[in-house]
Structure 1
Amino acid sequence: MKLHISFRLSPIAAALLLASPVQAQTSTPEQRVVVTGTAAPARLDATPSTGSRLGLSVRENPASVALIDRADIDAIGALDTQDILKLVPGVSFSAQPGSPASVFFRGFNNASLSQLYNGISVQYDAIAARPVDAWIVERVEAIGGPSSFLHGSGAVGGSINVVTKIADTQGDLTHARLAVGDQRQAALSVQRSFGRQVLRADLNTTQGTVDTMGRDRESWQAALSWRSELGTTLSHTLAVEQQHELVEQPYWGTPLLRDAANAVLGEVRIDPRTRGVNYNVLDGKYSQEVLWVRSILEWRLSPATDVSHTAYHYEALRDYENVEVYSWVNGNTQVERSSALLQRHNQDVWGSRGELSHKATIGGLKSDFAAGWDFSFNKQTRYPLSVAGPFDRTDPYAPAASFFYQTPGIVPGYNPGATNRLRTAALFAENRTVLAPGWALTTGLRADRIALAVRNHRTVTATNPALFETSFKPVTGRIGLVHDLTPGWQVYAQYSTAADPPSGLLATAGFAALRDFDLTKGRQVELGSKASFDNRRGELSVALYDIVRENLSITDPNDRTKVVPVGQQSSRGVEFSARWRPLPQWQGSLQLAWTDAKFDDFFETVGTTVVSRAGNAPANTPDWVVGGALAWQATPTLQLAADWRHVGQRFANNANTIWEGAYDLLGLSASWQAAEGVSLRARINNATDKTYSATLGNNLVYLGAARSASVSVDWKF
């Protein structure tokens, strides 16, 4: 059964936070111990870019901000950008081909989360934020709750930012990696300085797959960047990144067993003999080609004033050729295949973002400002050919060979369906004023002007006109107060707002989803505390939040043929994270999150009946997400580590009639410093070979990866 915990954000909760039994420290210098493979806790004093444009440290920011750096990424053996999210409190995820960037955070999912790449959203995050191999990633940052004031619409549940490696001023480096196992990898990073020029190249290729990806997978990434010091206060960086991925016979899911009435109800059940069985056509595929180009100009006008500008271009081509739905029939003795889709996405984004920051004193109070603009043009054309089927019935354990272009109704070629042109112009500003010693007020505001034009290339109908145009003018913001109880212990409170589409994504939404609709409105109240303890050998953060999202689209209970923007969804919860090195040889971390998400006002159509889902939990939203890691430096050259992840109960549908219980995953690793600059790492993921669902559906579940192993060697010089 689902565990319910009730609380309200109130003065009582605030008092409990202020009275938290933390051994907060004052000005004791940080004690650093150099031990191979580990790093002393110092996250609270880092300055991530995702939570603010003011250069605030994590402890100065009135929000829950997670920072996962390169050392963390290597420590857990993260394979891709989603794998890194294990270390963000409360986040769950999956990468099924039809929605490869499925992320759930604070009770909200894809369309209500902003998934950024180097601070840029291509406004199609549920697809475009497909996991990328982790080699080219420098760090991942996340801020929980409404954050549209930073990066625009689509961030009620939070924002996640993947920051890639780029040429910097940290000196020359060479880092190579070779890995074998279920996936094979060859990677290289090189940086060299030539006078006032710095050149960097990051290259990576992987091959092979675990059974939940497909029959085979190949990918490569090539990132080149060139930093030029144009003067003592002016620099320019040109960064170009190419990504390629091809998955043969992608895995789309495993069918759920049916009861005697031919229904799927209750706790999910799969036939264990179908684990690892792929029912897709043999020549099924998913492929993508992505190009990123960024021109970054940074200019220090004075010691107190900085100006920066980023011009960028994103180009993506994604192709799908698959049979995607499989169902048990004939008393769970055969599997029926249906829903063939030939699809192409052709997307281009151009953008310009300028920022100015200034440190000032107003009325004797320290007051820092940031302001700027954000312009983008997003064009995407989709070429869908969908055939419902069904096509055949096959042996569930040895599926009959079938091929995509032999599927009835599927013909080669791409016929455009619709083109979305999305123009966004925004102005933003932030301020942090120190009101008194130990008290700082942070505010942020963003005003967007969004124009959407959807061109229909197919038959014109009453619900699909030749041209549909609409516009939105959201204004979102945040106000937060931080109080230093001591230099090492802060408490904060904040109120923030956000806006996102009532359903779907603006890059693909059309007349049916947006006619007579405005963007939804989201708001959050959050209280939290951050502290260093044990002479700064440990850090912890805790946050309590309450989020409400209004005006989402629901079926009109009085007319099931209409959709009205009056629905409401809410979420409240607690997040906790801690890192601690009690001894030089031992280091541990813990992330814990509890979420109570529900529909407050929501109707959907079931057959010919409109049914209320008020009080139900959104699909695929776990109540608990817990993770922990422990590392032991057994000898000066050998480190042993283990990590654990617990994901609580989730429902497969808004009716909450299908669910899966909690699951636990165990990872094990060993690292050996073989020689100066040479290290070997062995890792086992899902060491207990647990069968679990990464994503639940009414008929299919997308299983998580089975046990896998890898051995890698790193060479740094």
Structure 2
Amino acid sequence: MFRLTTLALLAGSTCAWAQDTTLNLPASYINASADQPKPATSLDLDTPIESGSRLNLSARENPASVSVADRKTMERIGARNFQDAANALPGVNASAPPGWGGYVSYRGFNGAQISQLFNGINLQYGGAARPVGAWIYDRVELLGGPSSFLNGSGAVGGSLNVITKLANRDEDTFEGRMSYGRYDTWETAVGFNRALNSGDGPRHYARLDYSRTNSNGYIDRQENGAGNLAFSLLSDINDQLSHTLAIEYLEEEEDSPYWGTPVLQPMTGRLHIDKRNRFNNYNVKDGRYEQRTRWIRSITDYHLDDNTQLRNTFYRYDGQRDYRNLEVYRYNSDNSAIARSGGYRQRHDQEVNGDRIELTHQAQLFGLASDWALGVDYNTNQQTNYPLSKGAFDTIDPDGFEPGHFSDIPGMDAPRTKGRSTWTDTSSAFLENRTRLTERLALITALRYDHIDFEVIDHAAQARLDKRWDAVTGRLGLVYDLTSNVSLYTQYSTSAEPPGGTLTGASISQVGDFDLSTGRQIEVGSKFDFLEGRGSATAAAYRIVRKNISVPSSTVPNTTEQAGQQTSTGIELATSFKITPKLLAAGNFSWVRAEYDEFNETIAGVVYSRKGKNPVNIPDRVANLWLTYDVAPDWQLGADARYVSSVYANTANTTWVPSYTVYGLSMTHDLDKHMQLSARLRNLNDEVYARFIHQSNTQYYLGEPRSLEVAVQWSY
């Protein structure tokens, strides 16, 4: 309790509530005046954010919670991948257990209820959002609450959008980074942006980024490596027409993926593990995870005039994911042996093709300034899986065992056969408007229609299902500028999504005769600067109600059950404050109460009411704090802390995983104006903690132990 209270007080020391913010942690403070730009110490409330609207609105202008971890922020906090960047945002708790890809909980929801976008495109499958190296990212943006009006079906809790670097018209640059850390973890990354020609006629600009990461892993035998390549070509055909071609490629391989540490018996109340065996890997010796993905985007921008712009985005994604593992481990009654089961071989082949056309126009409506965005979007999402699973395998002594091989599991040498194929075709039309009712008051509205055609074939059962859904969602919001530095907002927004959690991986039983799941949110908040620009803060309070929801089964892995209704009520706070010219404090704090209003769960033929219970893996409090001190013009010290409260491990709320707090230290030294040396100590207190609890397997997914990383980064 003391640690939580301390973090909460520090994160909210300015007495400002906040949620929507870019956490830029600069090195110096400049006195502000009416004619000077805002100092870099403040939260960037005035830069347009793509993920909040298609109207090019800034955080201050948006009637919603919008947060950004930009490139400078990611470098400042040492973000190595998507989940590190996401966890810097208020209320987000992200991890990456195998089989779940990029797992995110936010505002009382998780899984498919948090849309994870790649440059504004939703793959509708969380398992594809693996947290690989962050070098090619430009920023990570978060929109809180229902956002189907912007990104289509889903996103009742919010949307996380990863935006990659693209070629730009700025000066030529060459940059890179090399780092090395504990567990033989290293990264090599380079990137450049160049103008390819000059003079009259079409102008071309190219950008290339590549990174390679490798690690032996902090769990035994968990070696992994990934490579990321991003290339883009920007062509200015003339003053009105430009085109960007963007290509991203990822490959990832992991040996003996870590599926978690089994919980000691009896599994009641607070769950425990044997800390002596915290680094044991109970997967087979040749367990494997592999991923290969390719993105192609063609973006055409045409400026009809100063007030009207047309954009067309064609996109294509190809992804293949392979699993070959022994996944389930459980202690016997006296904790002397572990039974291993859950042999699983799986392949996913996924392909997404789509095209989006959008028009933005600045105009007048009844003499009032009125901005419009409208368009259409069509995409087709196809996935086929090739599953093979087996039950019990063997029993081992956790203090000494041979992991064995995947081929030792009976039946795992069978030929690969199709299990299930899905086709999801979505046709959408959307409209947004902002009208300034007065000089200080703006009305922001949005409306979207989605028509979803879904087909699933169960090849093994020779069964087939076709379904159709129509969804209309929207937003109604007001923003009032109390002063030039303080804005107040309120909004009502809705969401809709098909049953089963995500259609891309849905089975016939998960979809069946179920209707759309719907959500609605009421939110109020404020965004403001204070003390002549030395600090900035934002605040949000919200209530979300979701009906006809899909809940992961407590007893059957990889299946869902239908529940009636869930309600989430919470607040989110964030601030950045230059305490002295040399000392900067930044932080955020969130609290949420998420509970089922209607949910009758059937276990072994018996029906149990879960009314008033909390969902699994949802922390009710998450807090972050960063302190940065400029020792000298070219030397900087930093300290950070992250707190995540306890989470329940079952829907009955009879078992739970304890809270944790991890601390870190950092040091940076500018060798010259182009090169910087840094050192970062993570998990200073060597906390043993679970970032995630496998609900049906009841296994801890442990966080990283204490580790030291040194890096050199350059930019010319």
TM range (shorter): over 0.9
Question: Does structure 1 conserve the Cα–Cα contact (< 8 Å) formed by 2:469 and 2:498?
Answer: no
Question: Does structure 2 conserve the Cα–Cα contact (< 8 Å) formed by 1:214 and 1:247?
Answer: no
Question: Does structure 1 conserve the Cα–Cα contact (< 8 Å) formed by 2:17 and 2:574?
Answer: no
Question: Does structure 2 conserve the Cα–Cα contact (< 8 Å) formed by 1:212 and 1:704?
Answer: no
Counterpart in the other structure of 1:255: 262
In 2, Cα distance between equivalents of 1:209 and 1:626: 30
Aligned-partner SS, 2:282: coil
- TM alignment of 1:515-530, pairs within 5 A: 515-530=512-527
Does residue 456 (structure 1) correspond to residue 462 (structure 2)? The answer is no
Give the letter for the 1:498 counterpart.
S
Deviations along 1:32-76, whole A, 9 cap, x unmatched?
66xxxxx43241011110000000010000001001110100011
- TM alignment of 1:175-324, pairs within 5 A: 175-182=175-182, 183-194=185-196, 195=198, 196-212=203-219, 215-259=222-266, 264-324=267-327
In 1, Cα distance between equivalents of 2:414 and 2:582: 60
In 1, Cα distance between equivalents of 2:402 and 2:63: 57
Deviations along 1:635-680, whole A, 9 cap, x unmatched?
0111100111000121011111111222101111100001230110
Give the letter for the 1:148 counterpart.
S
Count of residue correspondences: 680
Counterpart in the other structure of 1:142: 142
Counterpart in the other structure of 2:707: 708
In 1, Cα distance between equivalents of 2:652 and 2:54: 41
Scaled by the length of structure 2, the TM-score of the pair is: 0.92
Counterpart in the other structure of 1:447: 449
In 1, Cα distance between equivalents of 2:500 and 2:651: 15
Question: Does structure 1 conserve the Cα–Cα contact (< 8 Å) formed by 2:148 and 2:495?
Answer: yes
The verdict on how the C-alpha distance between 1:47 and 1:498 changes in structure 2, with shifts beyond 3 A counting, is same
Please identify, of 695-704 and 245-254, the stretch whose mean Cα deviation from structure 2 is larger: 695-704
The verdict on how the C-alpha distance between 1:268 and 1:694 changes in structure 2, with shifts beyond 3 A counting, is same
| C-alpha deviation, 1:503, in angstroms | 2.8
4+ residue stretches of structure 1 with deviation over 6 A? none
Give the letter for the 2:172 counterpart.
D
Aligned-partner SS, 1:507: helix
Counterpart in the other structure of 1:656: 653
In 1, Cα distance between equivalents of 2:396 and 2:17: 58
Counterpart in the other structure of 2:440: 438
| C-alpha deviation, 1:363, in angstroms | 1.4
The verdict on how the C-alpha distance between 1:67 and 1:563 changes in structure 2, with shifts beyond 3 A counting, is closer
Question: Does structure 1 conserve the Cα–Cα contact (< 8 Å) formed by 2:441 and 2:478?
Answer: yes
Does residue 163 (structure 1) correspond to residue 163 (structure 2)? The answer is yes
- TM alignment of 1:14-53, pairs within 5 A: 28-30=34-36, 39-53=40-54
Aligned-partner SS, 2:656: strand
In 1, Cα distance between equivalents of 2:281 and 2:415: 26
Question: Does structure 2 conserve the Cα–Cα contact (< 8 Å) formed by 1:111 and 1:503?
Answer: no
Does residue 73 (structure 1) correspond to residue 74 (structure 2)? The answer is yes
Deviations along 1:246-267, whole A, 9 cap, x unmatched?
00010000000002xxxx1110
In 2, Cα distance between equivalents of 1:413 and 1:319: 14
Does residue 152 (structure 1) correspond to residue 152 (structure 2)? The answer is yes
| C-alpha deviation, 1:565, in angstroms | 5.8
The verdict on how the C-alpha distance between 1:71 and 1:250 changes in structure 2, with shifts beyond 3 A counting, is same
In 2, Cα distance between equivalents of 1:88 and 1:145: 14
Counterpart in the other structure of 1:559: none
In 2, Cα distance between equivalents of 1:27 and 1:61: 25
Scaled by the length of structure 1, the TM-score of the pair is: 0.92
Give the letter for the 1:715 counterpart.
W
Question: Does structure 2 conserve the Cα–Cα contact (< 8 Å) formed by 1:418 and 1:457?
Answer: yes
Counterpart in the other structure of 2:686: 689
The verdict on how the C-alpha distance between 1:40 and 1:26 changes in structure 2, with shifts beyond 3 A counting, is closer
In 2, Cα distance between equivalents of 1:617 and 1:471: 32
Does residue 482 (structure 1) correspond to residue 483 (structure 2)? The answer is no
- List runs of 5+ in structure 2 lacking aligned partners: 5-15, 19-30, 554-558
In 1, Cα distance between equivalents of 2:552 and 2:323: 31
The verdict on how the C-alpha distance between 1:215 and 1:555 changes in structure 2, with shifts beyond 3 A counting, is closer
RMSD across aligned C-alpha pairs, in angstroms? 2.3
Counterpart in the other structure of 1:398: 400
Give the letter for the 2:411 counterpart.
G
Question: Does structure 2 conserve the Cα–Cα contact (< 8 Å) formed by 1:30 and 1:535?
Answer: no
Counterpart in the other structure of 1:419: 421
Question: Does structure 1 conserve the Cα–Cα contact (< 8 Å) formed by 2:265 and 2:333?
Answer: no
Counterpart in the other structure of 1:379: 382
| C-alpha deviation, 1:220, in angstroms | 0.4
Question: Does structure 2 conserve the Cα–Cα contact (< 8 Å) formed by 1:468 and 1:510?
Answer: no
Aligned-partner SS, 2:680: strand
Question: Does structure 2 conserve the Cα–Cα contact (< 8 Å) formed by 1:642 and 1:668?
Answer: yes
In 2, Cα distance between equivalents of 1:332 and 1:384: 32
In 2, Cα distance between equivalents of 1:184 and 1:169: 32
| C-alpha deviation, 1:105, in angstroms | 0.5
Give the letter for the 1:426 counterpart.
S
Please identify, of 568-577 and 532-541, the stretch whose mean Cα deviation from structure 2 is larger: 532-541
In 2, Cα distance between equivalents of 1:332 and 1:266: 17
Aligned-partner SS, 1:679: strand
| C-alpha deviation, 1:566, in angstroms | 6.1
| C-alpha deviation, 1:409, in angstroms | 2.0
Give the letter for the 2:516 counterpart.
L
Give the letter for the 1:177 counterpart.
R
In 2, Cα distance between equivalents of 1:252 and 1:17: 38
The verdict on how the C-alpha distance between 1:361 and 1:431 changes in structure 2, with shifts beyond 3 A counting, is same
In 2, Cα distance between equivalents of 1:684 and 1:500: 42
In 1, Cα distance between equivalents of 2:219 and 2:361: 50
In 1, Cα distance between equivalents of 2:401 and 2:516: 45
| C-alpha deviation, 1:398, in angstroms | 2.6
Aligned-partner SS, 2:417: coil
In 2, Cα distance between equivalents of 1:448 and 1:387: 39
- List runs of 5+ in structure 1 lacking aligned partners: 5-15, 19-24, 34-38, 557-561
| C-alpha deviation, 1:563, in angstroms | 9.8
In 1, Cα distance between equivalents of 2:297 and 2:219: 34
In 1, Cα distance between equivalents of 2:324 and 2:530: 54
Question: Does structure 1 conserve the Cα–Cα contact (< 8 Å) formed by 2:443 and 2:477?
Answer: yes
Counterpart in the other structure of 1:10: none
The verdict on how the C-alpha distance between 1:333 and 1:565 changes in structure 2, with shifts beyond 3 A counting, is closer
In 2, Cα distance between equivalents of 1:50 and 1:345: 28
Question: Does structure 2 conserve the Cα–Cα contact (< 8 Å) formed by 1:234 and 1:299?
Answer: yes
Give the letter for the 1:497 counterpart.
T
| C-alpha deviation, 1:154, in angstroms | 1.3
In 1, Cα distance between equivalents of 2:711 and 2:681: 12
| C-alpha deviation, 1:242, in angstroms | 0.5
| C-alpha deviation, 1:611, in angstroms | 0.7
Residue of 366, 372, 377 corresponding to 1:369: 372
| C-alpha deviation, 1:111, in angstroms | 1.2
Aligned-partner SS, 1:150: helix
In 1, Cα distance between equivalents of 2:561 and 2:409: 38
Give the letter for the 2:573 counterpart.
F
Question: Does structure 1 conserve the Cα–Cα contact (< 8 Å) formed by 2:113 and 2:501?
Answer: no
Counterpart in the other structure of 2:635: 638
| C-alpha deviation, 1:171, in angstroms | 1.8
Percent of pairs identical after alignment? 42
Deviations along 1:276-305, whole A, 9 cap, x unmatched?
110000000111000000001111111101
In 1, Cα distance between equivalents of 2:675 and 2:626: 24
Aligned-partner SS, 1:687: coil
| C-alpha deviation, 1:399, in angstroms | 2.7
The verdict on how the C-alpha distance between 1:514 and 1:685 changes in structure 2, with shifts beyond 3 A counting, is same
Deviations along 1:115-159, whole A, 9 cap, x unmatched?
0010000111x2011112111110000011000100011100000
In 2, Cα distance between equivalents of 1:414 and 1:363: 64
